[in-house]
């Protein structure tokens, strides 16, 4: 089978779907290839940061997302396990209207985008289609270009001719591989166990973190009656946790926060606990002649900043004007696409660094780092200018690295 599309997007995660939506309505034929047969039911929550809210608003989707079960979260409180409050990060300090974050299920945002795409017959989502490779003319070197993709559906090999391929295919990114783009993939030492539990009666409106020695328990209301709970565990201990079983996990978590004892009784099988390893991706480049990478395929980051899906959306939107110019000129060379990468790298790299710094201190187990972490948290409110900078970076509203002076003031 041989057919033609203006654009092929590999991967129907949020990045790929938003990319299609941003281009829909311009009469271009867009084919999205998704390896999975159906959209999976996710067992974790997600934070939509203010930057993500602004982008959803720009796409006319924010109201739809807010109408579904979700939680408007205005502040996060950080507590020392077995001790006192360390600090509060208050999103209300940001400029309205995006001065909060939204906690919901990733499937809700995805469903809102899918619903909108339904009105665009020129966008076709093909489920159960596994990308296998790109088709080139003129070889890999100078003058060579991509002219299509090959994918497999139910054993059949299919070809689509296209001048442009978007690799929105996640951390392992077969598109990145096919393009021969080198990427450094880092698997973090710690992973998360994630549970969607009943929200304990009277649970505070705001999200909270309990931090200890190599212990993090995050508790975010996700709707009026559900709580998104994530618990840090060493990746190598995941099997041991599973072997010890649910009662031991419930006990360990309930010791940190006794209000969770009863809600966790209602989590009855290990099937309801999702295991989430964390990876960072640093791709050497995000563009090639006739191809771009977006989202995790280009730059997955540690979830401490709650930004992965937000950044996938930001890529998709930043690509829009660049692609408009490519279509106008009929030029899909790397030179024509590289403006997208130049526009996006500063924010992504700042967030990756910030997420790694948070990982280094928040996940700490040794007394020196734990002491330093707690000290910095306790001094956050005494230095509103520095906390404001951190908040705006995490919210995705600024790209403003901390200076050495900022850091020293937080510690000394």
Site residues, ligand FAD (CB under 6 A): 10-16, 33-36, 44, 46-47, 130-131, 168-170, 174, 192, 276, 278, 295-296, 300, 303, 306-310, 312
For residues 308 and 210, the answer to whether their CB atoms sit within 8 Å is no
Per the DSSP assignment, residues forming a β-bridge with 166 are 9, 292
Q: Which residue, 374 or 392, has its beta carbon nearer to ligand FAD?
A: 392
Q: Of the two residues 354 and 410, which places its CB atom closer to ligand FAD in the complex?
A: 354
List Cα–Cα distances, 403 to 381, 383, 406, in angstroms.
18, 14, 5
What is the closest distance, in whole angstroms, from the C-beta atom of residue 169 to ligand FAD in the complex?
4
Of 222 and 410, which CB lies nearer to ligand FAD in the complex structure? 222
Euclidean distance between CA atoms 126 and 38, whole angstroms: 10
Strand order through the sheet with 46-48: 46-48, 101-104, 71-73
Q: For residues 163 and 308, which CB has a smaller minimum distance to ligand FAD in the complex?
A: 308
Minimum CB distance to ligand FAD, residue 240 (Å): 19
Integer-rounded Cα Rg, in Å, for the chain is 22
Distance between CA atoms of 126 and 37, rounded to whole angstroms?
9
| Least spacing, CB of residue 356 vs ligand FAD, in Å | 15
Give me the least distance between CB of 312 and ligand FAD, in Å please: 4
- Neighbour-count burial for 286-316, b at 16+ CB within 10 Å, e otherwise: bbbbbbbbbbbbbbbbbbbbbbbbbbbbbbb
Which CB, 310 or 347, lies closer to ligand FAD?
A: 310
The residue among 114 and 372 lying less far from ligand FAD, judged by its C-beta, is 114
Q: How far is the CB of 85 from ligand FAD (least distance, A)?
A: 23
CB 44, min distance to ligand FAD, A: 6
The structure tokens listed for 286 are: 């995000």
Residue 186: cis peptide before it, omega within 30 degrees of 0: no
Distance (Å, whole) CA 358 – CA 362: 5
């Amino acid at each position: 089978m041989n057919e033609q599309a203006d654009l092929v997007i590999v991967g129907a995660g949020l990045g790929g779907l938003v990319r299609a939506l941003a281009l829909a309505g311009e009469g271009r034929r867009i084919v999205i290839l998704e390896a999975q047969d159906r959209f999976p039911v996710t067992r974790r929550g997600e934070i939509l940061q203010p930057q993500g809210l602004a982008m959803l608003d720009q796409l006319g989707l924010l109201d739809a997302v807010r109408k579904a079960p979700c939680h408007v979260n205005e502040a996060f409180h950080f507590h020392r396990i077995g001790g006192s409050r360390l600090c509060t990060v208050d999103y209300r300090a940001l400029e309205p209207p995006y001065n909060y974050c939204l906690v919901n299920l990733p499937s809700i945002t995805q469903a809102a985008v899918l619903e909108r795409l339904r009105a665009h017959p020129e966008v076709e989502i093909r489920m159960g289609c596994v990308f296998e490779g790109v088709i080139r003319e003129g070889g890999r070197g100078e003058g060579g270009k991509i002219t299509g993709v090959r994918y497999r559906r139910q054993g059949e090999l299919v070809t689509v001719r296209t001048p442009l391929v978007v690799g929105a295919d996640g951390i392992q990114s077969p598109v990145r591989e096919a393009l021969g783009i080198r990427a450094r993939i880092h698997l973090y030492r710690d992973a998360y166990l994630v549970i969607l539990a009943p929200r304990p009666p009277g649970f505070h409106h705001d999200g909270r973190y309990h931090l200890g020695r190599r212990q993090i328990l995050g508790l975010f209301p996700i709707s009026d009656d559900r709580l998104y709970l994530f618990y840090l565990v060493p990746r190598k201990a995941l099997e041991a946790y599973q072997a010890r079983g649910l009662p031991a996990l419930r006990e360990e978590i309930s010791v940190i926060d006794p209000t969770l004892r009863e809600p966790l009784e209602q989590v009855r099988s290990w099937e309801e606990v999702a295991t989430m390893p964390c990876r960072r991706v640093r791709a050497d480049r995000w563009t090639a002649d006739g191809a771009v990478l977006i989202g995790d395929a280009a730059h997955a980051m540690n979830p401490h900043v709650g930004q992965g899906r937000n950044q996938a959306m930001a890529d998709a939107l930043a690509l829009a004007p660049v692609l408009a110019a490519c279509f106008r000129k009929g030029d899909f060379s790397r030179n024509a696409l590289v403006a997208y990468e130049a526009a996006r790298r500063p924010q992504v790299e700042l967030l990756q660094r910030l997420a790694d710094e948070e990982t280094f201190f928040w996940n700490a187990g040794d007394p020196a780092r734990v002491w330093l972490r707690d000290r910095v948290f306790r001094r956050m409110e005494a230095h509103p200018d520095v906390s404001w900078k951190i908040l705006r970076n995490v919210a995705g509203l600024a790209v403003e690295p901390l200076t050495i002076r900022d850091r020293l003031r937080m510690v000394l």
